[in-house]
Amino acid sequence: MKKILFIKNPIYLIFLASFVSCIFLLLLYGTIKLEKNITHKMIDISTFDVMSIANNNALFIDKALETISSSYVKEIETNVNLRAQIEKNLSLLLTSNIKYAYLIYKDYRGVFRFLADGAKDSEKAFLNQKFDIDNPKWLEIFETKKPLTIDHGYSHQILITYLVPIVKNNKVELILAVDFSIKKIEDINQILKLMKYAIIIIILIIVIFLILLIVQTFKYTAVKKTAYTDKLTGVYNRNYLQESESFINLDEYILATLDIDYFKVVNDTYGHDTGDKILTQIAQSITSTIRLKEDIVIRYGGEEFVILAKINRNDNLSALNVIERIFKNIQEKKFQINNQEFMNITVSIGVNLVPNKSRNFTDAFKLADLALYNAKSKGRNNIEIYDERENKNNDLSISINEIKDAIDKNQVICYYQKIVDTKTQEVSHYEALLRIIDKNGNVILPEKILPVIKGTFILRNITKSVLKICYKKLQENKDIKINLNINSKDLTDNSVLQILKNFALEDNISNRLGLEIVESKDLLTSENAKENLIMLKKLGYKLFIDNFGSGYSNFVYLSQIKIDYIKVDGSLISKILEDKISFLLVKNIVEFAKEAGIKVIAEHVSSKEIYEMIKLLEVDYSQGYYFNIPQEMDK
């Protein structure tokens, strides 16, 4: 995998090229230093004899003048024989390498002048001729009063001036100067030059390569960002998740899935442009809440987002707080439709607090999605945390193929829960609840099955299987009534509708088979669904609205299709004792139903106290664990 990344990602090549460049720069620096060291060694070796001769000559001049009490300069100027002797000695210094030897002084104005010159007569400087210095180091000798070497450095030879001070009374009176040259060792010089040129060329090639790589990296980064970023919302997209899910360390995060409640209604009511605007605002609300560089937000598809909240110091509560803040901020925010209109949006969130217990990201995601399904089935607009204890009997890795096999092998079954008359507690109906027996004999609950087949044709096939099971059970028990759940897609599916029409042709079937439809905007806005419900009503089927009160309730629509029963959402019933709003909602639903001639069923009646309150409100029927838990029905 690292090799693939190395090839695909040019940033790794940039690091490599930069590293190689640094090596060659160090090599170039070393070569230059080597050349300088060789040059200095050559100077030291070649100048030793010259300097010794010059020092001896300076010593001769100093001894010749040591008895002179007056100025050395005046003595040499006036003493022709002495000057001639000095120039003769200087001429003896001249060789093929020593070009010039001369004696100079600095006058009272600071100008250097010749006092004696060892050159041939044709080239000899005359007495007191001005001497122009070309290097400020000449002045240092007056401070140091020590011999000084000045390197003029040329490419093919080294030019050197060697200065020896002649001191009187601790003051530099005269300077003996010797100019000489040293030829460089041509072979070494050539090799060093070739090395330098080769290294410079290599560095230039690497620099050009680096520039091209940097340009390519910018392009790569831009393309990668585009490929991994959702164009509408600006967060990561599903491509990013597919590419990186195997690298996500599940020990470091909690995993949450977020779905916008009734988003299809927003699109249907206001148009897709407004829907896109709402999606963008939702994404902005999420990204403004998360911790930058710690949490990850991915638009998984449509109106669903995946959030990975990082755990700090083994404390998953801090990560959970992030999810709760996201939920709260969306609840409190007004989302803009246009310049004049705003609307409230709610979301449902499923959370997997321990994704590291799953084998891989996909399994961890399934558990979060299962919690999301539970959150939506409990009325939406809430956070549901996956609880392993509630699902301990489930095979958590059930696949869509296993569900298809279960249908083919008749491993789809139904458990049944009683719906009783609230006053007498006599059984009025049974609700058929979907179950699948997996290959290991485990009983799989609907919250595990339905998210896997959501949006697929298998959902329709599951409905057909449950219809056939209920039909058989009604044939075997002529005195019972059974309800089953029908989704909004089933109400527009011809094959499902045909089965229901065929059932209605038999006596004493359709009047004992109740159809429970979850109240949704899809149902309320579909004309075909409305027409088919009216058709089924005419065929003798009893119509139930399930989870009534959990979302938008169109009372006019309910009256148009003449609903027989309303099942009050269990989340309202379970809070009816301690929550005044829930109590008032149930009370008003009951009053409305009585006026409309609709029977009311209370779901999730789990205790005697709730049952007594339901009875006090004169709810017609009750269903819940207080009466029985779902189980198979004997023939």
30 belongs to a structural domain:
no
Residue 221 lies in a domain: no
246 within domain boundaries: yes
- Full domain range(s) for residue 360: 238-391
Q: Which of 206-210, 465-469, 491-495 has the highest mean predicted lDDT (pLDDT)?
A: 465-469
Residue that has been written with the tokens 């949490």 in this structure: 295
pLDDT digits (tens, 9 = 90+) for 235-245: 998 888 888 88
Question: Which CATH number is 291's domain given?
Answer: 3.30.70.270
Segment 92-107 mean pLDDT: 87
Do residues 440 and 373 both lie within one domain?
no
Q: Are residues 270 and 371 in the same domain?
A: yes
d(CA 50, CA 158): 14
Contact 392, 409 (CB under 8 A): no
Reported as a single tens digit per residue, the pLDDT across 26-37 is 766 666 676 666
**CATH at residue 137:** 3.30.450.20
Tell me the β-bridge partners of 414: 434
CB neighbours of residue 18 within 10 Å: 13
Whole-angstrom distance, CA of residue 87 vs CA of residue 90: 5
So what's the pLDDT on residue 184? Answer: 57
CA torsion 626-627-628-632 (nearest 10°) is -160
Cα distance between residue 632 and residue 473, in whole Å: 11
pLDDT tens readout for residues 34-89: 666 666 666 666 667 677 878 888 888 888 887 777 788 888 888 888 888 888 88
Question: Does residue 198 form part of some domain?
Answer: no
- Same domain? 431 vs 514: yes
Cα dihedral value 33, 39, 45, 46, nearest 10: -170
Handedness of CA 386, 388, 390, 391 (dihedral sign): positive
Domain boundary among 161, 187, 213: 187
Q: Is the pLDDT of residue 552 over 60?
A: no
Structure tokens at 242: 């597919």
Tens digit of pLDDT for each residue in 304-343?
999 999 987 655 567 888 999 999 999 899 999 888 888 8
- The Cα–Cα gap between 600 and 557 comes to 17
Write the CB contacts of 445 (distance below 8 Å, at least 6 apart in sequence).
391, 394, 435
The verdict on residue 58 lying in a domain is yes
User: In the structure encoding, which two tokens stand for residue 146, read together?
Assistant: 């020590």
- Asked whether residue 437 falls in the same domain as residue 371, the answer is no
101 shares a domain with 149: yes
**SS3 state at 494:** helix
Strand partners, 254: 309
pLDDT at 301: 84
Distance CA 585, CA 549 (A): 8
CATH of the domain at 551: 3.20.20.450
Q: State the pLDDT at residue 61.
A: 82
- The residues that bridge with 166 in the sheet, in sequence order, are 174
Q: Are residues 62 and 156 in the same domain?
A: yes
Which residues are within 8 A (CB) of 360 and not within 5 positions of it... i.e. 6 or more apart?
A: 245, 246
Among 615, 554, 18, smallest CA distance to 262 is for 554
Q: Helix 263-270 to helix 272-289 angle, to the nearest 10 degrees?
A: 140
**539 in the same domain as 496:** yes
- 539 & 426 share domain: yes
Q: Are residues 516 and 489 in the same domain?
A: yes
Amino acid in position 290: I
Lowest mean pLDDT among 58-67, 71-80, 206-215, 366-375: 206-215
The widest CA-to-CA distance across the chain, in whole angstroms, is 156
231 inside domain: no
Same domain for 421 and 356, yes or no, is no
Residue 124, in any domain of the structure: yes
Q: How many domains does the chain have?
A: 3
Closest CA to 521 of 275, 324, 273, 285: 275
84 shares its domain with 138: yes
Contacts of 280 (CB under 8 A, 6+ apart): 232, 233, 234
Q: What is the DSSP letter of 528?
A: H
Q: Considering the entire predicted model, what is its pTM? A: 0.45
Q: Are residues 590 and 446 in the same domain?
A: yes
Say whether pLDDT at 396 is over 50.
no
Q: Please say whether the dihedral angle defined by the alpha carbons of residues 211, 216, 219 and 220, taken in this order, is positive or negative.
A: negative
Whether 1 is covered by a domain: the verdict is no
Distance CA 252, CA 356 (A): 8
